[in-house]
Amino acid sequence: TTLCHSSSFNILFLATMNGELFAYNTDGFGDGLGKGPIWKSYFGQPVLQICCYESTIFILHPFSVSVGQINTGSAEPPCFEISGEVKQLSSVNQCIYQMMKMSEITNTLIIATSNGRLTMYNLPDLNIYDEINLEHKIQTFDMMLNYLVVSTNNRENEIFDTSCRKFIHLKKQSSGFKYPITTAIKILNSTTDMNDLPHDLIFAQAGLEGKVSIVTTTIESQTEPTVTLNTAARSAPISSSVTNPSGIYIPHDEKKFIFRAHRSTLSDNNILVGPIYSLSMVNGYLVTSGYGGDNKQGGKVEGSVCFWDINHKRRVKLCRGFPHSVVQTCSWNTESGKSILVCGCSDDSFKNMPVPAESSSFVHTVPPSSIVVMVLGERKW
């Protein structure tokens, strides 16, 4: 269900729908994963997502959040300890945790629930900063720097500014997809200086129909309105722009281009466009992954990964033959200049499974899964 890498401790965390959590040593990459997990645990309920903050690990379940600590001490490699469960949801709300994202810029953690609620927590104590209820259910979201992009089930994206540790709404945009199902959103590294205005907020959005949308939104500085005696006397509107504490706004419509990312030719020569489950960035390339269709040899379902040059709007590499659909990816750079892309391969039937109505023990038998590690050089794939 999720992959997360802690670059501070060189540990890769992998979790499953069965509630299993594995930790792999990635120090001296190439040997660590082959030796198997250095630590594993079983929670008895699904693990939906993992976030690493310094030495603290937050593990999201449908009805709770587990908090773990990496104990470096004298242990080699570092070990992992669970300190308990916090923020249990009230059963009266009948809503479940859906996903979470962390921002190291604002030291905040944002968690979304099934009923369209967003909650912003301070890290690491999880005190609540702000909460907001959206009109529609949340499908997925991503955050980078001070920006939060949320996709809802009515084919719309909502952009928020979180610089004041509050949800400041900036813009509501159409996703541009025919079917109202967004599977992943990834904000690209489009700017590094928040004070350099105007600048572009660029994000990629993937859908169930196998399409990817690249959206460019220009963020500008809000001009302070000028008030004169004449306008005040005539009760004229002072400003037509929205006002927010950070002084930024989105005055123009977004620019987007949409393309089909994953397609396969079946044995009967029909074209199958598969869903995209995950988006990543590697060396400036957008990586899309998901269902690769049936190969012509044995009719076996296989996963695929594509690398895209967004600036030139072209695919530069297609990798097929993964043992299952690629449902999650995780990437980082090593000290030696290599890029690592870890692909979590699994039967994707769990994505259509209902989450249990109670937070009791959860056991579900799924087919074997695996992870595929890709080591990418600067010029070699």
- Tell me: the pLDDT tens digits for 201-210? 999 999 877 8
Confidence label for 234 from pLDDT (cuts 50, 70 and 90):
very low
> Distance between CA atoms of 133 and 141, rounded to whole angstroms?
14
> Distance between CA atoms of 55 and 124, rounded to whole angstroms?
10
Q: Global pTM?
A: 0.83
Q: State the pairing for strand pair 117-122/248-249.
A: unpaired
Confidence label for 51 from pLDDT (cuts 50, 70 and 90):
very high
pLDDT greater than 60 at residue 32: no
> Distance between CA atoms of 103 and 53, rounded to whole angstroms?
9
pLDDT greater than 50 at residue 227: no
Confidence label for 131 from pLDDT (cuts 50, 70 and 90):
very high
- Count the neighbouring beta carbons within 10 Å of the beta carbon of residue 88: 11
pLDDT of residue 157: 92
Beta carbons of 136 and 113 less than 8 angstroms apart: no
Confidence label for 17 from pLDDT (cuts 50, 70 and 90):
confident
Question: Rounded mean pLDDT of 82-95?
Answer: 54
What is the pLDDT of the chain when averaged over all its residues? 79
pLDDT tens-digit series, residues 238-277: 444 456 677 888 888 899 898 888 765 555 555 556 788 8
List the one residue out of 283, 255, 95 whose CA is nearest residue 188: 283
Question: Buried b / exposed e across 265-282, counting CB within 10 Å, b at 16+?
Answer: eeeeeeeebbbbbbbbbb
pLDDT of residue 352: 58
Question: Rounded mean pLDDT of 285-308?
Answer: 75
- Count the neighbouring beta carbons within 10 Å of the beta carbon of residue 284: 11
Beta-bridge mates of residue 171: 159
List the one residue out of 196, 362, 203 whose CA is nearest residue 281: 203
pLDDT greater than 50 at residue 219: yes
Question: Rounded mean pLDDT of 345-368?
Answer: 61
Q: What is the DSSP string of 122-190?
A: ETTT--EEEEEE-SS-EEEEEEETTEEEEEETTTEEEEEE-TTSS-EEEEEEE---SSS-EEEEEE---
